[in-house]
Structure 1
């Protein structure tokens, strides 16, 4: 069976587990073929469908995230290695990089701090955006930092990215032009889809009964970490803008917000009010 024919039935099957069934099927087929989705669509639709596709499809039908199956996830201008133990990068998080680009332009920040870097998502995207910048990524998970170090090396960014075990801003010396953070913000009793709840690390998702626990920890730390003229870009969950803005405002930060492509307030842009 040709690839184009072999995609039809699986795309219908995946409607039960995915909001993007055709895309999922194409990504898995491309992975089975050992090429990118774009290459497949341009040159391999009439090739023979590989036998390996069936096993990949079965894993997705069991709710395993596509990114874990393929081991890769595109984000901003880079592709990251991901897998069990790290949060899968979401397009919504690109809103933070958008906000930083709007603030700094092509000149960019000189120094970047990424709190809760995971597989290096925000830090490495920012370093790729601004080749003159240097950055520090902090995470409390050694597993996540192992992914981040491999990603930094593969992307040729290892000499500009320091990756360190830590707990948010505790013990960090110095101030940074750009601080990035995508903390956990899901309330503990939230019912998440199985591909998230059963596979992605709970420590990267849940943040107490109201989803605000990690913002409460970050708020008093950020003022001393933001350099004069600098900003912090912090991701928030849908409907959290008012509550999180109040926490950061009480810590002496000015607060602006930026919407994601769906029109949801997704990023708070913070600066020291007295600088």
Structure 2
């Protein structure tokens, strides 16, 4: 059977995705090809020729992506740190921007004294991305992850089981609401870091089809200004953190200053810092818990 050159098919796919309005058509075209071939995207040049049957499957995947089905739903995975996570319908797909929040978390953990096992809490964990990436990078940490949505929790459990199978330190999953006043009371005043990528988009914000048609609405929207869930979380965060512990919360482009003001208004936090993403857009706010009066 005659084999067919792959690169022209990838070029054609990129054009199809570009016409469909996909934001990263070349990257997505290459990722789909790499997924089918079981290789890294950067190694596609090592597979110049493919079977016609594989090319048919590739064009089918490209057509589905052109209908704005998320890339991660087609490949079944999303990355965070050094791990891959299973994702699909019913769970929020982790974004590359959240890698900055993850990196900040690891950097903060490095500043802690080595006199106790660090405790990390991930609120609104979704697929478990942040919690599991931290547990992988810091096997010495005690990591708790909280998620209220049953569908998302199913994905988080699957990912947690996969990480255990790969030898990572287990995390503790909690089927609970991040705004519950009774959440994790056994950890009161003991937590070193709280991180969260909560629902933070203001209602009515225009979104790409990949987001509005496929991510769960419960994981996206946070009320009129996007901060309803965050407001409910902050008393929990404040109660959990030890003095000198820190919180970092991802937010919408439009509400970072408001989030920073919420953290700074009662004197419960110091060193409130707004962090931009690689494009210079406001992405997350971090702050340090002061000593309670």
- Report TM bin, short chain: over 0.9
Q: 1:38 is matched with which residue: 37, 42, 57? A: 42
Contact 1:115-1:169 at 8 Å conserved across structures: no
Hey, which bits of structure 1, 4+ residues long, moved more than 6 A? 106-109
Change (3 A) 1:229 1:106: closer
Q: 1:253 is matched with which residue: 259, 269, 290? A: 269
Instruction: Give 1:266's aligned residue.
Output: 283
Contact 2:135-2:168 at 8 Å conserved across structures: no
Instruction: Give 1:61's aligned residue.
Output: 66
Contact 2:257-2:274 at 8 Å conserved across structures: no
Change (3 A) 1:38 1:89: same
Alignment of 1:4-19 (within 5 A): 4-15=7-18, 16-19=20-23
Contact 1:181-1:235 at 8 Å conserved across structures: yes
Contact 2:61-2:74 at 8 Å conserved across structures: yes
Residue 155 of structure 2 is aligned to residue 147 of structure 1: yes
Mapped to 1, the partners of 2:240 and 2:288 lie a distance apart of 10
Instruction: Give 2:223's aligned residue.
Output: 208
Mapped to 1, the partners of 2:277 and 2:48 lie a distance apart of 33
Deviates more, 1:139-148 or 1:103-112: 103-112
Instruction: Give 1:172's aligned residue.
Output: 184
Does the residue aligned with 1:221 lie in a helix, a strand or coil? Answer: helix
How far is 1:121 from its partner? Answer: 0.7
Instruction: Give 1:22's aligned residue.
Output: 26
Give RMSD over aligned pairs.
1.9
How far is 1:112 from its partner? Answer: 0.9
Instruction: Give 1:97's aligned residue.
Output: 102
Q: 1:135 is matched with which residue: 135, 143, 160? A: 143
Does the residue aligned with 1:69 lie in a helix, a strand or coil? Answer: helix
**Which has the greater radius of gyration?**
2
Q: 2:240 is matched with which residue: 225, 231, 254? A: 225
For structure 1, the residue ranges without an aligned partner over 5 or more in a row are: none
The alignment covers a number of residue pairs equal to: 274
How far is 1:85 from its partner? Answer: 0.8
- Give the alignment's TM-score, normalised by structure 1: 0.93
Contact 1:117-1:123 at 8 Å conserved across structures: yes
How far is 1:221 from its partner? Answer: 1.9
